[in-house]
Amino acid sequence: MKPSLQLEKISEMSRHVIDSLRRIVWALNPKNDTLDNLLAYNAPYVAEFFRNNAGALLLEFPDSVQPIPLSAEFRRNIFSYRQGECA
């Protein structure tokens, strides 16, 4: 394998690991245990999933979402579901 291809593969793997670590940190951060944070975090992933798999999608959110508290367990379950469906 050419060195440039090896470097590209290492770079791609590194980006994947960093992205996975960011997701884990977000999922464990108790500051994100609110509905507004959950929606804000997941919206780009859901939009990307539908852009790549289903064509047109229009996501509409209200101008503001109340910071309704969510249990960490509920948030992690939604996060895990999204990881399986939109990854």
CA distances from 49 to 4, 28, 43, 45, 54 (A): 30, 23, 10, 6, 8
pLDDT tens readout for residues 9-61 = 999 999 999 988 988 888 888 888 898 988 888 888 777 777 777 666 677 77
Given phi > 0 = left and psi -120 to 50 = alpha, else beta, which region is 55? Answer: left
pLDDT tens readout for residues 50-70 = 777 766 667 777 888 889 999
pLDDT at 87 over 60: no
Model pTM above 0.85: no
Give the side-chain half-sphere CA count within 13 A for 76: 9
